[in-house]
Structure 1
Amino acid sequence: MPTDTLTPTLPAVDTSLRFVRVLERLPGGLVSFEFAIGWPELAVELLLPTAAFDTFCQAHQVQRLDEA
């Protein structure tokens, strides 16, 4: 069967990898951040209170992309 040259070949994804990038810490204790699974380039933006954000990061064993 011929391969479709219009279909891009995507790199393998490791769904065990979880990434967080803090965008902003807002007044009132909210954290705006991006969360990604597998590919850090493909993320969703979320907003959580600080305590819930810390719990979220621990539960998902994230790699922080905003820290040096």
Structure 2
Amino acid sequence: MNDVTTAPTTDAAPASNKKTALTDAFREHFTGDAPLTEKAKGFAKARPWTSAAFLGVAAIAVLNTLRGSRG
């Protein structure tokens, strides 16, 4: 058998305390004093698929709201 143990490296990224990568991305892009539009642009550039999913969900919510107001 191979009993090789490796020591943890010190140059690795710190653990995120059971948070997801998405939470870390929100925290990274939406903290600070920049305007909200600049923060959103930075997040969209870093995570384009996530941003598209959020926009899709928001669009569905708006369409359902408008559909319900016709009754």
Q: What TM-score, normalized to structure 1?
A: 0.29
Q: Which structure: greater strand fraction?
A: 1
Q: Which structure: greater helix fraction?
A: 2
Q: What TM-score, normalized to structure 2?
A: 0.29
